[in-house]
A = this chain, B = another copy of it.
Amino acid sequence: MEQAPNVDTVRKLVTQYSNWGRWGDDDQVGTLNHVTPDDVVRAAGCIRSGKRISLALPFDASGPQTGGFGRFNPIHLMFRDGGDIISGTIVDDFYGGRDRHIRGTDDMIIMPLQSGTQWDSLSHILFENKMYNGYPAEHVTSKGATRNDIRQAADRTAGRGVLLDVARFKGVPALEAGYAISAEDLAGCADAQGVEVGRGDFVLVRTGQLEERRGNWGDYAGGPAPGLGFASIPWVAETEIAGLATDTWGMEVLPNETPDVFQPLHIVLLVGMGLYIGEIFDLQALAEDCADDGQYDFFFCAPPLPFSRAVGSPVNPIAVK
């Protein structure tokens, strides 16, 4: 990285770290292949105290979306509710006019799939008109993704999780926007925490930004943020981790390290490497717990909703310690 990175840097890195074909020409889950059954069994060993911690923001109108890329916060609508019960109209409206004593309520949601705590699928990002494993853009039409959709990961995002609390490691409440996390930071943080990171792990990187912005989001979605920089790529590749999530909107450092390419690490990691990327993970409670008990690894279960042909999914990731 002697000279300023540009699109050629990205091209080179995509090639260098490419996993295309590594798990077959028809693979659709990328680094999730790193997790073996044995890893899952070993991950169970991280369950020691029986704590279960949710890493999802609530999904509601107070979420972080401010309209970027057409995304909005979830719109929640009741279509059968207590008012219908109190007024008695529910009997006619829902129970055919005969009162059979039950009263139910029901609701619906309208939401961009990437409006809150979420997984990107491997069809979410393309580079030079191709997605992970070389599938061309024709595979994502108005009807959705016919390759690399989120359904592929329905049963794959469980295993060993590791929190890397980089903010705490650096002794700050939150890394500054624009701070590019390096391999050295990640390895140093793991060392300081006394935890090893290896093949098949799901790594959660805490920058502190979500906590800093919670409830007063401002430009959290799409604005300047700390996050992974080019210098973290070798670490991500060499550790052979299965997935990586942050408490930021976009995983990587913003502004990006090159003005020529937007979200270049998405290109290298998601398109090239086939890395599953999680965003807007709420790591506050987990980080406090890990600092308390000194245990930074856990059983991690973060199942996406298997929407057919979807390019992402909201998720409620659970850390079990």
Cβ B102 vs Cβ A113 within 8 A = no
Which of B36, B49, B83 touches A50 (beta carbons < 8 Å)? B36
Q: Mark A300-321, 1 if CB is under 8 A from B, else 0.
A: 0101111111111011111010
Which of B47, B57, B74, B316 touches A41 (beta carbons < 8 Å)? B47
Q: Mark A47-81, 1 if CB is under 8 A from B, else 0.
A: 11111111011111110000101111011111111
How many residues of chain A have a CB within 8 Å of chain B? 114
Q: Is A216 an interface residue (CB 8 A)?
A: no
User: Which residues of A274-321 are within 8 A (CB) of B?
Assistant: 299, 301, 303-312, 314-318, 320
Chain B residue contacts of A108, Cβ below 8 A: 77, 110-113
Chain B residue contacts of A156, Cβ below 8 A: 52
Cβ A83 vs Cβ B141 within 8 A = yes
Q: Mark A32-44, 1 if CB is under 8 A from B, else 0.
A: 0000111111011
State the CA gap A93–B199 with chains docked (Å).
39
Q: Is A210 an interface residue (CB 8 A)?
A: no
State the CA gap A95–B69 with chains docked (Å).
8
Q: Is A144 an interface residue (CB 8 A)?
A: yes
Q: Is A192 an interface residue (CB 8 A)?
A: no
Q: Is A172 an interface residue (CB 8 A)?
A: no
Cβ B306 vs Cβ A71 within 8 A = no
Cβ A144 vs Cβ B100 within 8 A = no
Known: A261-B101, A262-B100, A310-B107. A141 touches B299 (CB 8 A): no
A123 shortest CB reach to chain B, Å: 6
Known: A58-B307, A70-B106. A140 touches B82 (CB 8 A): yes
Q: Is A263 an interface residue (CB 8 A)?
A: yes
State the CA gap A165–B73 with chains docked (Å).
39
A57 shortest CB reach to chain B, Å: 8
Q: Is A266 an interface residue (CB 8 A)?
A: yes
A210 shortest CB reach to chain B, Å: 15
Q: Is A168 an interface residue (CB 8 A)?
A: no
13 A–B pairs (Cβ distance < 8 Å), ordered by A: A41-B50, A44-B45, A62-B308, A69-B106, A78-B140, A82-B140, A83-B87, A84-B142, A89-B142, A90-B142, A104-B125, A107-B144, A305-B314
9 A-B pairs closest in CB distance? A83-B83, A37-B50, A82-B140, A40-B50, A44-B47, A82-B137, A60-B308, A100-B262, A303-B316
